[in-house]
Amino acid sequence: MPSHASTLMSPIANQPLDCLSVGILVADHLCDPIDHVPAAGELVLSQRLPLATGGCAANAGVDLARLGVKVGVVGCVGQDAFGRFMIDELASAGVETRYIRQLAGEETSGTLIINVRGEDRRFVHCVGANARVQVSDVPRDEMLRAKVLYVGGYLLMPALEGEPLAALFREARAAGVKTVLDIVLPGPGNHWPKLESVLAETDVFLPNTDESKVLTGEADPLRQAEKFAAAGAGAVVITCGEHGSVIVSGKERLRAGTYPVEYRGGTGSGDAFDAGFITGLLLGKDLLDCVRWGSAIGASCVRSISATDSVFTRAEAEAFLAKHELAIERI
């Protein structure tokens, strides 16, 4: 039978949460950067092959906890070693884990992340237990007490797609809860019908430009953002990697740059951006300051190969933001 059990006592049990982070939970199998992708039958050595927590909901949850946000994660893992690892690591990071469902007969989702020097990372992914995430997993009383409902990894959770999530977002917004959405594409296909109804109930949409090109058929990030906004999203921020981000909200059309940091790996940087943006929302910041927070936390993430190891604490983020300016221009 499914269970909602953690092997560690939650550090924030019974406290109202600022943010509920719903979505994919993934055990990340990483390698330190290698010189090249192995040819068939070839052995290539890496200095380290760490195991780490991953997946949008987990990454954003860990990052938010590091930023001082009271956050709970909702999702599914298997009743296996990787599922226990995920729950224990999240609880150790200060995340509420009691809403993670452990499923018998399902494997915990995993991603093999191959880092090659000078190249973007490569992924081999198993959906696993994430295919079983559903709206009924979201605790309504907790959601309605929260300030932000975040869903990350949408389109990799088939049981959550379309009207079920749109209805959940509608319920949250009616109670004054901000809805924030990010996606992960399973590959090419006609994903727009699954997204359009949800966008109409989304306060902030945070995809990257590669995903947005597949979804909209548009290569230009501004045109991508405008199409999402036309579908009803309140604010759209398209992240564009080293090229910064493009923002559309109402009549605003903006382009933001990036902060200067040493790059080691991009894994988790989009989720870190989400966590920074959400932190800005919780601090009562305006749209541009939320983008600054998102850009700063995203920049801190790329200093390591893992999704969360180098992400700023609240104090580190505030010091960084006080020292660095983010270029933002109107388009």
Partners of 252 in beta bridges: 249
pLDDT of residue 2: 42
Q: Once rounded to an integer, what is the mean pLDDT over residues 183-195?
A: 91
pLDDT of 277 over the 70 cut = yes
* Tokens linked to 229: 């906004």
pLDDT of residue 289: 97
pLDDT of 327 over the 60 cut = yes
Can you say whether residue 128 is alpha, beta or left, with left for phi > 0 and alpha for psi between -120 and 50 degrees? left
Quote the CA–CA distance of 276 and 135 in Å, as a whole number: 25
Question: Are residues 250 and 41 in contact, defined by beta-carbon separation less than 8 angstroms?
Answer: no
* Measured distance between the N- and C-terminal CA atoms of the chain, rounded to whole angstroms: 54
Give the DSSP H/E element, type plus range, for residue 87: helix 81-92
Q: Once rounded to an integer, what is the mean pLDDT over residues 6-30?
A: 77
Q: What percent of the chain has pLDDT over 70?
A: 96
pLDDT of 59 over the 60 cut = yes
By three-state DSSP, how is residue 207 classified? coil
pLDDT of residue 187: 82
By three-state DSSP, how is residue 318 classified? helix
Q: Which residue has the higher pLDDT, 6 or 125?
A: 125
| Tokens 């330190």, residue located | 32
278-324 tens-digit pLDDT: 999 999 999 999 999 999 999 999 999 887 889 999 999 999 999 99
Query: Rounded to two decimals, what is the model's pTM?
Result: 0.91
In this prediction, residue 14 has a pLDDT band, given cuts at 50, 70 and 90, of low
CA distances 22 to 168, 245, 271, 299, Å, are: 12, 24, 12, 23
Q: What is the mean pLDDT of the chain?
A: 93
* Tokens linked to 195: 């997204």
Q: Once rounded to an integer, what is the mean pLDDT over residues 94-117?
A: 95
- What architecture does CATH give domain 23-36+48-330? 3-Layer(aba) Sandwich (3.40)
User: CB neighbours (10 Å) of residue 255?
Assistant: 18
Nearest to 258, CA basis, from 282, 248, 152, 272: 272
Q: Once rounded to an integer, what is the mean pLDDT over residues 199-205?
A: 98
By three-state DSSP, how is residue 170 classified? helix
CA distances 73 to 10, 38, 112, 270, Å, are: 12, 36, 22, 17
Q: Which residue ranges make up each domain of the chain?
A: 23-36+48-330
In this prediction, residue 186 has a pLDDT band, given cuts at 50, 70 and 90, of confident
pLDDT of 1 over the 70 cut = no
pLDDT of residue 263: 86
209-244 tens-digit pLDDT: 999 999 999 999 999 999 999 999 999 999 999 999
Quote the CA–CA distance of 287 and 4 in Å, as a whole number: 36
Q: Once rounded to an integer, what is the mean pLDDT over residues 194-210?
A: 97
In this prediction, residue 265 has a pLDDT band, given cuts at 50, 70 and 90, of confident
In this prediction, residue 103 has a pLDDT band, given cuts at 50, 70 and 90, of very high
Q: Once rounded to an integer, what is the mean pLDDT over residues 36-54?
A: 94
